[in-house]
Structure 1
Amino acid sequence: MMSTLPLAQWVILLFFFHKMLILTTATELKQGFYAETCPGAESVVREVMKKAMKRDPRNAASVMRFQFHDCFVDGCDASLLLDDTPNMLGEKLSLSNINSLRSYEVIDEAKEELENLCPGVVSCADIIIMASRDAVVLTGGPNWEVKLGRKDSLMASQEDSNKIMPSPRATASALIDLFSEFDLSVKDLVALSGSHSIGNGRCFSIVYRLYNQSGTGKPDPAMEPEYREKLDKLCPIGGDEEIIGDLDATPHVFDNQYFKDLVSGRGFLNSDQTLYTNEWTREFVQNFSSNQEEFFNAFVEGMVKMGDLQSGRPGEIRQNCRVVNQRPMEILIETLDDELIEK
């Protein structure tokens, strides 16, 4: 039976819970955030990543992408991971994510292990940040200390994702404008584009480059001829657009080969190759192609800055990364419903 607390007391309790919820967003991000509350958190995530990559090497690039697709849409709050509900269209089926993002189950595995180790302590948003870093490290890229302490969002928005996330057809100028909205520099843009040092892209994303660039009915003139012939065979007109191709010549190794490929006209995506044809970004591409250490340093700097993006909205520590926890008001409504049913 429902408690007989007066309505005024219920309102006060709900207000208190609501204020506590809002206060959860005030935590400052810092390195070693879980040193006392869950000291094994980062080790758990890295071990999960190692196992996931052993099952399928593509999991590294897929998981690393999560930080980009999560943080640009209303901050790094794991809104990306929420499944759709009858009252909410989430981000998983947005234009930039549907049939593109994968490996959500890797984050689920890390969350399950962490809930067993430290229930209700480590956020899904922080798992994304840790796992993205580990994906880079485990494929030969740089290591860095991540700042943690994020909360998980209570909502997601497919509309926001559609408005914000760039298309594979995006030009360097459009990307510069997008990154500037998040106080990320041109150097940050080029360095972070180096995430395409690992992974694959679909034929769907490049067929227009091969056969109808800018509506000309011709291929992109920036493509090196032999590379274009290779892509023609991989992605013929009328072929399976879900076939995947390598984003650079060393798709399982995080290195500066991506930039070397751009210099030689072998960028897979239009949004990649345009970084070399644009006068504002070309210098950084050239520098990174000849100096891997400079690229690594700039990439780490960009990942840390991107990881700092926050929405300022209320948050929580989800028990399941795919759904929000039950709210106090929802609990009250369910209790009231049960009481009415009993009567």
Structure 2
Amino acid sequence: MSPTFNTKSATINMSSLRFLVQLIVLGFAFNLADGQGLKVGFYQKTCPDLESKVKEVVDQVISVAPSLAAPLLRMHFHDCFIRGCDGSVLLESPTNQSEKYAFPNLSLRGFQIIDKVKTAVEKACPMVVSCADILALVARDVTVAIKGPFWEVETGRRDGRVSILNEALTGLIPPSANISILKQGFQQRGLSVKDLVVLSGSHTIGISHCSSFSNRLYNFTGQNDTDPTLDPNYIVKLKIKCNPGDQNSIVEMDPGSVKTFDESYYTLVAKRRGLLQSDAALLDDNETKSYLKFQALNHGPTFFKDFGESMVKMGRIGVLTGTTGEIRKVCTKVN
């Protein structure tokens, strides 16, 4: 769910260590996924046309730029996994020290779409709807717009006033993560092992830069070798697209299905063609492997339902409700 660095194994191990330390700190920094104060239809009286206005903007955008669906969905992930779902990933900083400037967030796109939605909502319901709730609604609507599942979005979040680059730099789970780090990262946020493998299914859409996985092709253990868990035939194809040291070229996460939300991600990972190490790691745990193979072999019979349920749970992480936080007038800055 996050871009990563083009690193050798020693650097990856150090990154993983820093991440685990950060998890311990963040575990005390926000509530887990309980979502107290959230409910479906929170704005029914104060902004009754909210969801239709969000959907209108999203549908128009995705009809002409479907490639924005993946980064807009991922933006909600990145927001919730740092400080909880409080819109902190949207805040800008005159000195580039907020979350959005952290390396793992530099590949996020679509901030202008969030601003466009917020403008439309503010026109109808001034100072009523939080940017954090807009992120959650947009994530659902872009998924639906590319033939993915619909789920009822709980609302009632308020916006945070703090955004720190270093928290995102060290706290977002890197794509180089092994299964232990993945499970720990989700557990710290009140999410289950099932949520981990379900939400990883969002990799059925979008792209990744070569820098996020090229160590698997050229220098997996620092010995100019390849990752033995990656299908050798797939390695040949990836090397055509990613030369050694290539930082900028992009590869589809789910080749041939990059703009359609479906279960084919699980088929790819089952065939050892998961692009990121964090994808391949799902084969290293009995529960994630069992779920993955069930969806792959049976054409994803429960994936859509499960995805909606896990997204609702994720949307409850560390929320600010009631009188905490604020309702930002502009998503990029505190009031």
TM-score (norm 2): 0.85
Q: In structure 2, the residue corresponding to 1:161 is in which secondary structure?
A: helix
Q: Which letter does structure 2 place at the counterpart of 1:255?
A: D
Contact 2:86 2:320 in 1 (8 A): no
Structure 1 equivalent of residue 251 of structure 2: 245
One-letter code aligned to 2:261: F
Structure 1 residues 216 and 299 mapped into 2: Cα distance closer, same or farther (>3 Å)?
farther
Question: Shift of residue 225 of structure 1?
Answer: 2.1
Residue type at the aligned position of 1:248: D
Q: Secondary structure at the match of 1:35?
A: coil
The equivalent position to 2:238 in structure 1, one of 231, 239, 258, is: 231
1:176 is aligned, of 175, 178, 183, to 183
Q: Is the CA contact 2:190–2:317 (under 8 Å) kept in the aligned structure 1?
A: no
Q: Compute the displacement of 1:311 (Å).
A: 5.0
Q: Does 1:255 align with 2:265?
A: no
Letter in 1 for 2:203: H
Q: Is the 8 A contact 1:196 1:258 kept in 2?
A: yes
Task: Indicate the residue corresponding to 2:119 in structure 1.
Answer: 112
Cα separation, 1, equivalents of 2:43 and 2:301: 30
Q: Does residue 1:304 correspond to 2:304, yes or no?
A: no
Q: How does 1:79-90 map to 2 (within 5 A)?
A: 79-86=88-95, 89-90=97-98
Q: 1:142 aligns with which of 149, 152, 158?
A: 149
What runs of 5+ residues in structure 1 fail to find an aligned partner?
1-25, 326-343
Q: Is 2:331 aligned against 1:321?
A: yes
Name the counterpart of 1:155. Answer: 162
Alignment partners' CA distance in 1, 2:169 and 2:244: 27
* 1:74-98 Cα shifts (integer Å, max 9, x gaps): 1100000000135x82101113112
Contact kept, 8 Å, 2:92 with 2:100, in 1: the verdict is yes
Moved more, 199-208 or 212-221: 212-221
1:179 Cα shift? Answer: 0.5
Which runs of 5 or more residues in structure 2 are unaligned?
1-34
Give the counterpart of 1:34 among 40, 43, 52.
Answer: 43
Residue 271 of structure 1: CA displacement? Answer: 1.0
> Does structure 2 conserve the Cα–Cα contact (< 8 Å) formed by 1:27 and 1:150?
no
Tell me if the contact between 2:159 and 2:320 (Cα under 8 Å) persists in the aligned partners: no
Give the number of aligned pairs: 297
RMSD over aligned CA atoms reads 1.7
User: Which is bigger in relative contact order (C-alpha 8 A, separation at least 6)?
Assistant: 2
1:91 aligns with 2:91: no
Residue 265 (structure 1) aligned with residue 272 (structure 2): yes
- Counterpart secondary structure, 1:152: coil
Identity of aligned residues (%): 41
Give the whole-Å Cα distance in 1 for the aligned partners of 2:222 and 2:177.
15
Shift of 1:312: 4.6
Tell me the distance in 1 between the aligned counterparts of 2:53 and 2:73.
Answer: 17
Counterpart CA distance in 2 for 1:293 and 1:46 is: 26
Amino acid at match of 1:301: E
Question: 1:127: Cα distance to partner?
Answer: 0.4
Q: What CA distance in whole angstroms lies between the structure 2 residues aligned with 1:252 and 1:96? A: 22
Alignment partner of 2:208: what SS? strand
Q: Tell whether 2:192 aligns with 1:185.
A: yes
- 1:73 pairs with one of 79, 82, 95: 82
CA contact (8 A) 1:96 1:166 kept: no
Measured against aligned partners, the alpha-carbon deviations of 1:153-173 in whole angstroms (never above 9, x if no partner) come to 111111221231011211121
Offset, 1:214: 2.9
Residue 44 (structure 1) aligns with:
53
Say whether the 8 Å CA contact 1:49–1:60 is kept in structure 2. no
> 1:212 — aligned with what?
219
Q: Secondary structure at the match of 1:201?
A: strand
Taking a change above 3 Å as real, the CA distance of residues 39 and 283 of structure 1, as seen in their structure-2 partners, is same
Q: Distance in 2 between matches of 1:307 and 1:248?
A: 25
The match for 2:4 is: none
Residues in 2 aligned to 1:117 and 1:311: alpha-carbon distance in whole angstroms? 24
